[in-house]
Structure 1
Amino acid sequence: MSLAGAGFPGAAEPAPRGGWPYPRWIAHRGAGTLAPENTLAAFALGHAHGYRMFECDVRLSADGQPFLLHDDRLERTTDGQGEAVDQRWAELAGLDAGSWHSPRHAGERLPSLGDVVEFCRQHDCALNVELKPAPGDEVRTGREVATRLARSWTLALPPLLSSFSVAALAAAAGVAPQLPRGLLLEAFSDEGLGAARRLGCVALICEQRAWDGATVRQARAAGFRLLAYTVNEDGEAARLLALGVNGLITDRIDHFPASAGA
């Protein structure tokens, strides 16, 4: 798998100002709020709405299995209890991750990273994997997720690794430098720009309000592609598209056509 083959420079170089190889619109956690987040049901629904790139949250079980879950704890989106990182995959895999959302999704399971990779392979979809480590588990998470993706991903366009955790992204870069990386930021800053450079990132993924004319120019001058989260309003979408932001992560897959602004 080669960054250059996907339209990127070498892994340690910032991205040029040319085209972005991924779809413009990215489905947040699979299907936004229309299905239980971070499940295969969400991915299937996002795909049915025409989306061909998905964002998801990946963390590790106690025995090192990468799987999809946003929160450190299990209560909000499963019928389990406690810290997810304290439980083995055999226990996590049996949890109901759908009933909290709606009765028709009762019994939906937590997918492993391997399940999602296979879905993307079957449907020729791109993936943005957010490394979501439990506190203190940053290095293990970055290494394990990146290692497994590097071994299992077979599509030409590589998965984009992202995280708020510099340590997790650095660990991922150490074992799979060929996988493109994006630093997540709540607010644009010189510190964030410097960290993204040191990590060899190809993109900055900022909270939507962080992007304006000045920050877009600064990020582009540094050689980064620009992504925004979580874009759910027409006005913000239009503003960001006018600024030339490369990727928009949205919950509203039933509102924004996946081809909008392409």
Structure 2
Amino acid sequence: MKRHATLALPLSLFAGALVVQTAQADTSALSQQLKDLESFQVIAHRGASGHAPESSMAALELAHAWGADYLELDIQMTSDGELVAFHDDTLERTSNGEGHINDHTLAELKDLDAGSWFNDAHPELADSAFEGAHILTLEEVFNRFGTDARYYLETKSPDLNPGVEEGLVRRLEAYDMIETGRVLIQSFDQESLLKIHELNPDIPLIQLVWYSPGDEDPERREEWTGVTPGPERITDEDFQAVADYAVGLGTNAYYEGEAMIDEGFVRQAQQNDLAVHVYTINDPEEMQQLIDWGVNGLFTDYPDRLIELTE
């Protein structure tokens, strides 16, 4: 499959969503971004996080240098209202800090070492340059890459980060990331996405879903947040309800090695004007299978592997 080749499926992808999303900002750059989503997108999950500490400048630099289409980051809010790129709600796993990230000021977070853990966890990839890596603010990321990159940002744990939507939209507008077609906003929290849509209806949104076997009936798959039914029961109307506010669906394909979706799910979503982005795929064989199914993009910790497959 050629890199960025438009999928052969007869997609009417984004026909309805494009009208909604661009009602107030019908700029060529934003329209081009939405058109590009019809082609395959390499989404660098927390940067090239298989090679460097996740969400670090080193990981983002690698992914950008390799030509990833999107730099993916989780956005949280500090106790003094700053936006930072950090995945976990607590600090222990990927820094030498303790406690909830949103209980700390930016100054306190900047004192932490968010890189040495990677050397300990991956001694074969250890690099002294990772030691002392800082937790990044969103502004630092924008100041480094500007409009030379596209960003795939998640409103992380909105219940723990009240006001994250307003803060995020303000910064996107200040850095002119929306009309220049530079950003997608994703969330598992439907209410958070709807809030973003109210604040600025031109921001393209991705609804995240997570499918797994049901607790009572393992043969009956369920969606974690209840946004959609399980994949075997999903209807066109279910997809259309998401397409009313979002341009894509971000989903897992597997749960503990068991397939949760199939090619039919992908095609049905696309026929209902939703791109399908699958997270987080690091195995080349799984990458190739999903490419063959016609997905519109993959999240991966190893964008170099995925780029090699799609070039």
TM over 0.5: yes
- 2:306 paired residue number: 256
Distance 1:45 1:234, change over 3 A: same
Higher CA-based Rg: 2
For residue 271 of structure 2, the aligned residue among 192, 212, 221 is 221
Q: Is the 8 A contact 2:250 2:279 kept in 1?
A: yes
- 1:193 paired residue number: 239
Shift of 1:23: 5.9
Q: Is the 8 A contact 2:282 2:300 kept in 1?
A: yes
Task: Tell me whether 61-70 or 231-240 shows the greater mean CA deviation.
Answer: 231-240
Distance in 2 of aligned mates of 1:22 and 1:97: 34
- 1:129 paired residue number: 153
SS in 2 for 1:10: helix
Report the aligned-residue RMSD.
2.7
SS in 1 for 2:135: coil
Q: Is the 8 A contact 1:158 1:179 kept in 2?
A: no
Distance in 1 of aligned mates of 2:146 and 2:301: 23
Q: Is the 8 A contact 1:28 1:55 kept in 2?
A: yes
User: Residue by residue, what CA displacement relative to the aligned partner does 1:52-106 show, whole Å, maximum 9, x if unpaired?
Assistant: 4211111111121110110000111111111111111121122111111124311
Q: Is the 8 A contact 1:166 1:195 kept in 2?
A: no
Aligned-partner residue type, residue 159 of structure 2: P
Aligned 1:74-223 pairs, distance under 5 A: 74-102=91-119, 103-121=128-146, 124-133=148-157, 135-137=159-161, 140-154=163-177, 156-187=180-211, 189-190=228-229, 193=239, 196-198=242-244, 200-209=245-254, 210-223=260-273
Distance 1:205 1:127, change over 3 A: same
User: Residue by residue, what CA displacement relative to the aligned partner does 1:187-207 show, whole Å, maximum 9, x if unpaired?
Assistant: 263487365235x10000111
Shift of 1:21: 6.2
Distance in 1 of aligned mates of 2:262 and 2:296: 14
Task: Tell me whether 249-258 or 51-60 shows the greater mean CA deviation.
Answer: 249-258
Distance 1:211 1:261, change over 3 A: farther
TM-score normalised by the chain length of structure 2: 0.73
Task: Tell me whether 245-254 or 67-76 shows the greater mean CA deviation.
Answer: 245-254
Shift of 1:12: 8.2
Shift of 1:19: 5.1
User: Residue by residue, what CA displacement relative to the aligned partner does 1:211-262 show, whole Å, maximum 9, x if unpaired?
Assistant: 412211321222111111111112211111112111111112342226x436
Aligned-partner residue type, residue 115 of structure 1: E
SS in 2 for 1:108: coil
Distance in 2 of aligned mates of 1:254 and 1:214: 28
Distance in 1 of aligned mates of 2:270 and 2:158: 32
Shift of 1:158: 2.8
SS in 2 for 1:216: helix
- 2:283 paired residue number: 233
SS in 2 for 1:33: coil
Distance in 1 of aligned mates of 2:251 and 2:190: 15
**Unmatched runs of 5 consecutive residues or more in structure 2:** 1-13, 24-30, 120-127, 212-222, 255-259
Say yes or no: does 1:66 pair with 2:83.
yes
TM-score normalised by the chain length of structure 1: 0.85
Percent identity between the aligned chains?
29
Q: Is the 8 A contact 1:147 1:172 kept in 2?
A: no
Aligned-partner residue type, residue 193 of structure 1: F
Count of matched residue pairs: 251
Task: Tell me whether 81-90 or 20-29 shows the greater mean CA deviation.
Answer: 20-29
Distance in 2 of aligned mates of 1:185 and 1:219: 13
Aligned-partner residue type, residue 151 of structure 1: A
Aligned-partner residue type, residue 192 of structure 2: A
Q: Is the 8 A contact 1:226 1:247 kept in 2?
A: yes
Distance 1:57 1:244, change over 3 A: same
Distance in 1 of aligned mates of 2:40 and 2:138: 21
- 2:46 paired residue number: 29
Aligned-partner residue type, residue 144 of structure 1: G
